[in-house]
């Protein structure tokens, strides 16, 4: 543990200090070295961002910046107010901003988010308050969104190393913070004490509480007991479904929920799935029918309720609900036409394609990466697929690392995946998945979809862009590269008297607004 004990021991009993418990973990405090949610949650509290989304909105607005806008197709200009300071008293100028992005690209840490800055050509700081971003492709609508997420946290050039990830202790030691809080006590992945940063000026109000203590837990059941016993005031990410169900019955506690960006889907490998391109009886039409039958048989409602107690909700598209442009094409295209499963529809698809039933299908899931409920989830999916004798499922679980390796090497014909967005934009649910160079590598390749995705990303007009996004969703829903079925909800459980919990599509918990 380090940090100056400046504000003494008084705050431990302080009335308005909020205790937050989480099962997330931090990999690195330095934004150049982390690309995960746990780190982001902490970084959001202590680093400034040029732009951000306001509460309950997905629109990008200036945060630290005074203005932020496209000043040319390839140029995004940000101006800073005068006289900004870091918590340690250093000046916060455009030079810090340039430093931040230059070092992200220079370090390109294997575990860092620098890949999100793929479109950034260079950063220029003509004067102390102006920053100009030069972009590779024109009108990149996702760029401002990127600035609100992982690589967007601005760091102090006097405290961070230009060419290496800076150790957490050094950052805390240098008090190199510029967000609503600075860290005054830091025990890696155990305990972090946040104290309001008086030098913070930005979108959000100054901290409404006297400070926050974040306590990291390993097991959700322990977090659950902790919030139940009053050991923490707020439990945020992640309580299991049954824990939430349990806690909601406790009158001393309040359960808060909001939209979640996390989705679950089944990926089909177009080469190795039944009738896939590299199988002996390759037949694209039959292969599609198989996917359609699966899409028709999945009972999302049952999965949502029975496995997840409603903490995950049915998902009928590729872009989850809550994002601009999200529609639900799968709802009426498959199943009973109203979101429910339909064995008749599935049988019809298979019969039309001339497929003999039951279709043997090898289905894979990862028992350890998406929580222990994956096993239950897939046990249920197996049952749903087999219930009417249309499929003969061979279910297997594989430990995550092996799984990651196998799935991109065409080992699994159909398999489970989940996704958590890098930034809050519909694009993040399309580009990584369906562009030709995608991370699924399931051999899905549709020129039209590819072109449309590129087009929407550079369409400045919001309505026009949303229309394109809708079109993409419909097209993919026809091809069924993947079958999405669940969307996570964000849940926080707090003591009944805690206020100011806002869970919105930014998927960030803003601790500055918490009070009790």
Partner 1 sequence: MADTATAAPETAASPAARKGARGGSSLWRYVLIRFLLIFPTIFILVTTVFLMMRVTGDPITAALGGQLTPAQLEERIEAAGYNRPLIVQYLEYIGQIFTGDFGTTIDGQPVVGVLLRYGGATLELAFYALIVAFVVGIPLGMLAAALRDRWGDAVLRVFAILCYATPVFFAGLILKLVFSVWLGVLPSSGRASPRVELQIGRIDNPTGIYTIDAIRTGNPAYLIDVLQHAIMPGIALGLLTAGVFLRLVRTNVIGTLAMPYIDAARSRGVSEYRLVRKHAYKPALIPIITVIGLQIAMLLGGAVLTETTFEWMGLGYQLSEYLKARDYVAVQGIVALLAVIVALTNFIVDIIAAFIDPRVRY
Partner 2 sequence: MSKPSIWTRLPIVHQYRQSVGLQRGMLTAGLVICAIFVLAALLAPILAPYSYNQLSDGAGETFTPRQAPSAEHLWGTTIAGYDVFSRVLWGSRTAFLVIIVSVLMSMFLGILLGLISGYIGGWLDRVLVVIADAVYAFPSLLLAIVSAIIISRGQSGLWAGIFATAISITVVFIPQYFRVIRAETVRIKSEAFVEAAQVMGASTWRVMLRHVYRNATRTLPLVFTLNASEAILTLAGLGFLGFGIEPSAAAEWGYDLNRAIEDVTAGRWWTAVFPGVAIVLVVMGITLVGESLNDLADPRLRTRRRAAAATPADAVAATTPAARNEIGETE
Residue 446 is a binding residue for partner 2 (CB under 8 A): no
Burial class from Cβ neighbours inside 10 Å (0-12, 13-18, 19+) for residue 228 reads middle
Site for partner 2 in 306-335 (CB under 8 A): 306-307
Binder of partner 2 out of 108, 162, 285, 387 (CB under 8 A): 387
Paired sense of beta strands 312-314 and 482-495, if any: antiparallel
User: Could you say which of partner 2, partner 1, none residue 352 binds, taking C-beta under 5 to 8 angstroms by partner kind?
Assistant: none
Residue 375 touching partner 2 (CB under 8 A):
yes
Please report how the helices 284-297 and 343-352 are oriented relative to each other, as an axis angle in degrees rounded to 10: 180
Q: How far apart are the first and last CA of the chain?
A: 27
The conformation of residue 305, written as its DSSP 8-state character, comes to I
353 binds partner 1 (CB under 8 A): no
Residue 470's binding partner among partner 2, partner 1, none (Cβ under 5 to 8 angstroms by kind) is none
398 binds partner 2 (CB under 8 A): yes
Residue 82 burial (CB count, 10 A) = 10
Work out the angle between the directed axes of helices 220-228 and 241-248 (0-180°, nearest 10). Answer: 10
The listed partner (partner 1, partner 2, none) that binds 242, CB under 5 to 8 Å by sort, is: partner 2
376 binds, among partner 2, partner 1, none (CB under 5 to 8 A by kind): partner 2
Q: What is the dihedral of CA 463, 479, 421, 260, to 10 degrees?
A: 80
Enumerate residues 299-338 that contact partner 1 by CB under 8 A.
Answer: none
Stated as kind and residue range, the H or E segment containing 384 is helix 373-386
| Measured distance CA(516)–CA(502) in Å, rounded | 14
Angle at 226 between CA 224 and CA 230, to 5 degrees: 120
31 closest CA partner among 138, 143, 171: 171
Q: Which residue has the tokens 């971003």?
A: 133
Q: Is 240 in the site for partner 2 (CB under 8 A)?
A: yes
Q: Which of 205, 282, 400, 420 binds partner 2 (CB under 8 A)?
A: 400
State the minimum distance, in angstroms, from the CB of residue 269 to partner 2.
18
Task: Assess 174 for contact with partner 1 (CB under 8 A).
Answer: no
Kindly state whether residue 218 participates in binding partner 2, applying the rule CB under 8 A: no
Q: Are 261 and 48 in contact (CB under 8 A)?
A: no
Partner from partner 2, partner 1, none binding residue 307, C-beta < 5-8 Å depending on class: partner 2
Q: Which of 70, 236, 268, 403 binds partner 2 (CB under 8 A)?
A: 403
Residue among 275 and 391 whose Cβ is closer to partner 2: 391
Q: Binding string, 355-374, against partner 2, x = CB under 8 A?
A: ------------xx---xx-
The whole-angstrom separation of Cα 97 and Cα 282 is 53
Separation in Å, CA 352 to CA 285, 349, 355, 356: 10, 5, 8, 10
Minimum separation from the CB atom of position 34 to partner 1 (A): 8
How many angstroms separate the CA atoms of 437 and 417, rounded? 18
- Which residue among 353, 369, 392, 450 contacts partner 1 (CB under 8 A)? 369
Residue choice 55, 281, 405, 461 for contact with partner 1 (CB under 8 A) = 405
Residue 157 in contact with partner 2, rule: CB under 8 A: no
In terms of phi and psi (left: phi > 0; alpha: psi -120 to 50; beta: otherwise), the region of 36 is beta
Q: In this chain, which of 18, 22, 34, 76 binds partner 1, going by CB under 8 A?
A: 34
106 contact choice in partner 2, partner 1, none (CB below 5 to 8 Å, kind-dependent):
none
Question: Shortest gap between Cβ of 426 and partner 1 (angstroms)?
Answer: 18
Cα separation values, 493 from 99, 209, 226, 309, 374, Å: 38, 18, 11, 15, 23
Q: How many whole angstroms separate alpha carbon 292 and alpha carbon 342?
A: 11
Cα 174 to Cα 168: distance, rounded to the nearest angstrom: 10
Residue 354 touches partner 1, criterion: CB under 8 A: no
Where does this chain bind partner 1 (CB under 8 A)?
1, 5, 9, 12-13, 19, 21, 26-28, 30, 33-36, 108, 110-111, 115, 165, 167-168, 185, 187-191, 193, 213, 215, 217-219, 222, 225-226, 229, 231-232, 368-369, 400-405, 408, 417-419, 432, 437-439, 441
Where does this chain bind partner 2 (CB under 8 A)?
219-222, 224-225, 228, 240, 242-243, 246, 302, 306-307, 367-368, 372-373, 375-376, 378-380, 382-383, 387, 395-403
């Amino acid at each position: 543990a380090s940090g100056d004990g400046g504000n003494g021991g008084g705050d431990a009993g302080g009335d308005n200090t909020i205790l937050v418990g989480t099962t997330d973990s931090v990999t690195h405090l330095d934004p150049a070295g982390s690309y995960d949610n746990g780190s982001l949650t902490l970084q959001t509290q202590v680093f400034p961002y040029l732009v951000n989304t306001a509460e309950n909105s997905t629109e990008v607005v200036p945060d630290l910046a005074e203005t932020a806008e496209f000043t040319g197709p390839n140029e995004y200009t940000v101006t800073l107010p005068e006289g900004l300071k870091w918590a340690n008293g250093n000046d916060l100028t455009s030079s810090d901003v340039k430093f931040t992005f230059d070092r992200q690209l220079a370090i390109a840490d294997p575990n860092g988010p620098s890949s999100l800055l793929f479109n950034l050509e260079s950063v220029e700081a003509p004067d102390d308050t102006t920053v100009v971003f030069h972009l590779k492709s024109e009108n990149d609508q996702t760029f401002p969104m990127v600035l609100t997420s992982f690589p967007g946290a601005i760091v102090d050039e006097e405290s961070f190393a230009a060419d290496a990830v800076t150790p957490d202790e050094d950052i805390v030691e240098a008090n190199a913070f510029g967000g609503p809080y600075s860290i005054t006590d830091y025990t890696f992945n155990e305990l972090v004490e946040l104290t309001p940063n008086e030098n913070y000026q930005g979108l959000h109000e100054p901290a409404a509480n006297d400070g926050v203590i974040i306590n990291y837990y390993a097991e959700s059941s322990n977090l659950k007991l902790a919030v139940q016993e009053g050991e923490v005031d707020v439990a945020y990410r992640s309580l299991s479904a049954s824990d939430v169900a349990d806690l909601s019955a406790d009158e001393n506690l309040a359960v808060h929920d909001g939209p979640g960006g996390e989705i679950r889907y089944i990926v089909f490998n177009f080469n190795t799935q039944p009738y896939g391109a590299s199988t002996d009886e390759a037949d694209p039409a039959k292969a599609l029918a198989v996917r359609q039958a699966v899409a028709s048989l999945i009972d999302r409602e049952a999965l949502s309720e029975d496995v997840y107690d409603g903490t995950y909700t049915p998902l009928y598209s590729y872009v989850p609900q809550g994002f601009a442009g999200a529609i639900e094409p799968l709802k009426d295209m498959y199943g009973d036409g109203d979101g429910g499963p339909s064995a008749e529809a599935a049988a019809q698809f298979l019969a039309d394609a001339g497929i003999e039933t039951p279709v043997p299908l090898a289905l894979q899931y990862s028992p350890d990466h998406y929580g222990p409920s994956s096993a239950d989830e897939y046990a249920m999916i197996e049952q749903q697929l087999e219930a009417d004798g249309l499929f003969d499922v061979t279910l297997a679980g594989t430990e995550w690392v092996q799984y990651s390796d196998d799935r991109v090497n065409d080992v699994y014909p159909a398999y489970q995946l989940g996704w958590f967005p890098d930034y809050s934009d519909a694009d993040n649910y399309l580009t990584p998945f369906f562009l030709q160079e995608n991370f699924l590598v399931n051999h899905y390749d549709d020129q039209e979809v590819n072109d449309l995705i590129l087009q929407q990303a550079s369409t400045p007009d919001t309505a026009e862009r949303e229309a394109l996004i809708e079109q993409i969703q419909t097209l993919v829903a026809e091809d069924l590269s993947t079958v999405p079925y669940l969307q996570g909800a964000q849940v926080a459980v707090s003591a009944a008297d805690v206020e100011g919990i806002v869970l919105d599509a930014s998927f960030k918990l803003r601790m500055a607004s918490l009070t009790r």
